[in-house]
């Protein structure tokens, strides 16, 4: 039986991870739920087991096989070395460690990883969910023809920044409708009924930092195998779910049916009906990435296209949790099994 610690267990991502773990081959593990002092003592549940969230103590990570960090970056930076010294395999969902020496970014959905993981790997960062969706779709399209150009606008939800961001979006919406002043503790800008590419000077949310993280993870995962990708992140006034507007140009024309076939497969739900559209609401609770293909036909031949648009959506929290669990399952092979002789 594995022993698993979840640091940041009371966060939105921590709760989603608990659900993903309880539905995985790791469901029989012994779980320790950890968080900041203000969450200490809260009742919680993993699968059918009711437990209590504990504060992170000096020996909190002792005997843990895996430690998932799901809280803010500050929590990860304070405690990841402590978990590492205790002999735990560290998986960082906060994104705090992706520039640390030796740390590897992973996304098992994309097949072979650019960098191997061994016993000397200090930590693993499950890839940003937007990168998983973008890299997987472009990887599929490359089966039809080489991609000469790709650009993506990523619309990010409030839940990516935690419960405080969601609460502020909600309160701003309520206050606007009642002609009251807006709370700005998280965003320092009006995010309700608004699309933004940047926030105020005092904002705790940094879209440039998110863009930089997405670019780092995309480069780490593709390692020159995938096409170059221009990325812009926009904050959308929604609570959950990523949506993506992706422009792609192929080096040669391809039959539209062949493009649809290349996108179709595991983890991708290709929406063909004109009456339906991928959306953040439709993606909520879904394991797959929802995609609509919009090719630009070439002249009179409406069956060929070299330029196309993809409109896609994915559940940001579920995709992050699924990827983290898959990373842990893949890392089981480097955990010692049984007593050392």
Q: What is the pTM of this model?
A: 0.91
Cβ contact 285:256 at 8 Å: no
Q: Beta partners for 298?
A: 301
Tell whether 50 and 155 lie within a shared domain: no
Within 10 angstroms of residue 118's Cβ, the number of other Cβ atoms is 7
pLDDT (tens digit per residue) in 126-164: 999 999 999 999 999 998 999 999 999 999 999 999 999
Q: Which of 33, 22, 115 is nearest to 70 (CA)?
A: 33
What sign does the dihedral 124-14-215-24 (CA atoms) show? Answer: positive
In a domain, 51, yes or no: yes
Tell whether 88 and 199 lie within a shared domain: no
Span 277-297, average pLDDT: 92
| Total tally of structural domains belonging to the chain | 2
Residue 167, token pair as written in the block: 């609460």
Cβ contact 330:66 at 8 Å: no
Q: Which of 250, 241, 235, 247 is nearest to 200 (CA)?
A: 235
pLDDT value at residue 338: 45
Q: DSSP H helical segments within 193-300, as ranges?
A: 207-222, 256-263, 280-283
pLDDT (tens digit per residue) in 190-234: 999 999 999 989 999 999 999 999 999 999 998 878 889 999 999
pLDDT value at residue 80: 95
In CATH, what number is assigned to the domain containing residue 24?
Answer: 3.40.50.720
Residue 325, token pair as written in the block: 């669990």
Tell whether 140 and 200 lie within a shared domain: yes
Q: How far apart are the first and last CA of the chain?
A: 19
The residue segments making up the domain with residue 81 are 3-126+321-334
CA 150 to each of CA 94, 142, 175, 232: distance values in angstroms, whole numbers, following the listed order: 27, 11, 40, 12
178: left (phi over 0), alpha (psi -120 to 50) or beta: alpha
Tell whether 137 and 203 lie within a shared domain: yes
Residue 81 has pLDDT above 80, yes or no: yes
Q: Which residues contact 124 (CB under 8 A, 6 or more apart)?
A: 89, 90, 91, 92, 103, 104, 105, 106, 117, 327, 331
In CATH, what number is assigned to the domain containing residue 214?
Answer: 3.30.360.10
pLDDT value at residue 150: 96
Per DSSP bridges, beta strands 301-314 and 242-255 are antiparallel
Q: Which of 75, 46, 128, 64 is nearest to 327 (CA)?
A: 128
Span 291-314, average pLDDT: 88
Tell whether 146 and 119 lie within a shared domain: no
Q: Beta partners for 156?
A: 235
In a domain, 339, yes or no: no
CA dist 78 and 328 (Å) reads 22
């Amino acid at each position: 039986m594995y022993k698993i610690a979840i640091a940041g267990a009371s966060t939105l991502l921590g709760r989603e991870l608990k659900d993903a773990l309880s539905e995985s081959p790791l469901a029989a593990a012994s779980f320790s739920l950890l968080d900041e002092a203000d969450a200490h003592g809260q009742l919680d549940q993993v699968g059918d087991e009711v437990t209590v969230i504990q504060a992170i103590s000096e020996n909190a990570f002792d005997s843990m096989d895996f430690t998932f960090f799901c809280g803010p970056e500050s929590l990860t930076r304070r405690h990841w070395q402590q978990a590492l010294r205790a002999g735990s395999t560290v998986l960082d969902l906060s994104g705090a460690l992706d520039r640390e020496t030796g740390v590897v970014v992973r996304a098992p959905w994309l097949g072979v990883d650019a960098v191997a993981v061994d016993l000397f790997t200090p930590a693993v960062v499950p890839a940003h969910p937007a990168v998983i969706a973008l890299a997987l779709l472009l990887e599929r399209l490359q089966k039809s023809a080489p991609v000469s150009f790709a650009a993506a606008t990523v619309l990010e939800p409030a839940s990516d920044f935690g419960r405080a961001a969601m609460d502020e979006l909600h309160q701003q919406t309520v206050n606007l409708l009642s002609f009251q002043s807006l709370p700005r503790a998280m965003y320092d800008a009006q995010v309700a009924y608004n699309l933004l590419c940047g926030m105020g000077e005092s904002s705790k949310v940094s879209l440039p930092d998110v863009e930089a993280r997405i670019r780092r993870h995309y480069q780490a995962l593709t390692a020159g195998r995938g096409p170059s990708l221009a990325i812009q992140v926009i904050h959308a006034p929604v609570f959950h779910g990523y949506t993506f507007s992706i422009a792609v140009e192929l080096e040669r024309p391809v039959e539209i049916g062949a493009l649809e076939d290349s996108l179709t497969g595991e983890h991708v739900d290709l929406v063909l009906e004109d009456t339906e559209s991928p959306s953040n609401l439709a993606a909520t609770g879904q394991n797959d990435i929802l995609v609509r293909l919009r090719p630009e036909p070439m002249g009179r031949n409406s069956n060929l296209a070299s330029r196309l648009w993809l409109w896609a959506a994915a559940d940001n929290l579920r995709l992050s949790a699924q990827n983290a669990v898959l990373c842990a399952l893949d890392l089981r092979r480097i955990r010692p099994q049984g007593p050392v002789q």
